[in-house]
Amino acid sequence: MEQLMQYIWQHRLLPTCGLTTVDGETLNIIDPGRLNTDSGPDFFNAKVRIGRRVWAGDVEIHVKASDWHRHGHDGDPAYESVILHVVNRDDTMIKRGNGEVIPQLLMECNPRFSEDYARFVGVSSTQLPCAERILSLPRLKVYDWLDALAYERIHDKVERIDTLLGSLSGNWEETCFVTVARALGMGLNSEPFERTARSVSLKILRKHSDSLVDLEAILMGQGGLLDRAPENDLYAGELRARYRFMATKFDLVQPRPMIWKMSRMRPHNLPYRRMAFLATMLYGGFRMLNDIVHTETVEDAESLFRHELQGYWATRYTFGPMTEHATPSLGKSAIRTLIINAVAPLMAAYGINHGDIPLLERAATILQALPPEKNRLTEMFTATGIPVKDAFTTQALIQLRRAYCEPHKCLYCRFGHPILADKAVGKT
């Protein structure tokens, strides 16, 4: 309840003029102040008019006025600057250390507000409690929020790339390599792919860019995938022998533990095949960043991943016998996923870091030119009737679910806010 009250105060969901303190003085809210996320009063630098006087200072919010004492604020110098105490229940008078009474405002939250909020945050992760009401919102507000969410997701990915760039001493090509490797994990295996890529420098891999077998040996050895291969597989045996030599030569340390997820996975998504594809991208030298920066269209982006597996992996999904169903190239859906999770974020990150705003805008344009992603998460929103025409929008929906729905930040969502706000205060 206290969090809800803070939200109501912060977003001015109660009248700002014509209010009355519990002592009967007129109260106007000039500025609610700035929310404090640290210790001390809830809002800093607020400004209110009480009677004929204007007060500037801090505001504290409690469900019950007596919580002031229960929380130990009496006698705490940090609370001497409180100019207004906002409460849902006025059960006692509060005074400063000098005996001066602190004005109190009674804020009665509508029970339906609390009930709706509790219902919103209490549902399972597979439900969307606001689904029935989203389409009642103005279309312009829906589209505006989706645009903001899509850019928010892009910037979240840019932050990850910036952190990676810093850990790699500002080396953009290494950062590009690790980002592409992570994207090849397709979500489920993103972490082990990233750890594998970070465990061996691009400089070492470039020294063996003329040998596809050596590249496969290093990557699969570092990833621990050779430990899973059958002992009687001749090709796996050759890779093991080469990896042992490379590990000794370059002092390679295999990251542990490497937790690969393989159950209930489609064969073409198995990490063996994806790691072989990464080796193919390194074959002949990895200089992908320049190509990404100069990508203009979806077709340009797709061409970055038009590599074909050779030799052993052209006819296999995993170590073992050949399969007639294996194809030597990535499918169109997989390539589009790589564009969404590697190409567009790298374009945006490079553009922001180099002050090249058109490059950032080009990243968004490429997402808008890609067809929408289809998965259970996006289908949850499309079922509400939200028009989803491209990957830019599905990225927005993923951000909405991950950053707002799952952590129960309905109060800060532009869908949840207006639904809840219209019944924030009052008794009915």
Specify if 97 maps to a domain.
yes
Are 199 and 298 found together in one domain?
Answer: yes
CA atoms of 118 and 65, how far apart (whole Å): 23
Residue where one domain finishes, among candidates 59, 86, 109 = 109
Positive/negative CA dihedral, 382, 338, 169, 164: positive
263 shares its domain with 357: yes
pLDDT of 131 reads 76
Considering the domain architecture, whether residues 98 and 193 belong to the same structural domain is answered as: no
pLDDT for the residue numbered 428 = 39
Last residue of a domain, one of 344, 369, 394: 369
**Does residue 23 belong to any structural domain of this protein?**
yes
Handedness of CA 241, 242, 243, 249 (dihedral sign): positive
The reply to whether 172 and 96 lie within a common domain is no
How many whole angstroms separate alpha carbon 279 and alpha carbon 339? 18
- Identity of residue 33: G
Is residue 277 assigned to a domain? yes
| Mean pLDDT, contiguous 10-residue spans, the chain (428 residues) | 84 86 95 91 95 95 94 91 94 90 88 71 68 81 94 97 97 98 94 97 96 97 95 95 97 92 88 96 94 96 94 93 88 95 98 96 97 87 85 95 86 80 56
Q: Does one domain contain both 172 and 269?
A: yes
| Claim to verify: residue 190 and residue 268 sit in the same structural domain | yes
Partners of 86 in the beta sheet?
61, 105
The 3-state DSSP composition of the chain as helix, strand, coil percent (nearest 5) reads 50, 10, 40
132 belongs to a structural domain:
no
Q: Is residue 98 domain-shared with residue 175, that is, in the same domain?
A: no
User: Is 365 found in the same domain as 216?
Assistant: yes
Strand partners, 425: 109
Question: What ranges in 111-233 are assigned the alpha helix state H?
Answer: 111-121, 131-134, 139-167, 172-184, 190-198, 202-207, 212-222
Length reported for the chain: 428
- Confidence at residue 381, expressed as pLDDT on a 0 to 100 scale: 83
Q: Transcribe 360-410 into DSSP letters.
A: HHHHHHHHHHSPPP-SHHHHHHHTTT----SHHHHHHHHHHIIIIITTT-G
Residue 237 in domain: yes
Q: What is the number of other CB atoms lying within 10 angstroms of the CB of residue 110?
A: 18
Q: Is residue 374 included in any domain, yes or no?
A: no
d(CA 205, CA 232): 27
Final residue belonging to a domain, choices 59, 88, 109 = 109
How many folded domains does the chain comprise?
2
Q: Note whether residue 346 is domain-resident.
A: yes
Q: The domain containing residue 214 runs over which residues?
A: 168-369
- CA 230 to chain centroid: 38
Report yes or no on 152 lying in a domain: no
Rounded to 10°, the helix 271-282/190-198 angle is 40
Cα–Cα nearest to 345, from 161, 182, 152? 161
Indicate whether 185 and 305 sit together in one domain: yes
The position carrying tokens 């996006």 is 378
Same domain (yes/no): 220, 297 = yes
pLDDT of residue 7: 82
Q: Do 78 and 180 fall within a single domain?
A: no
At 264 the pLDDT is 81
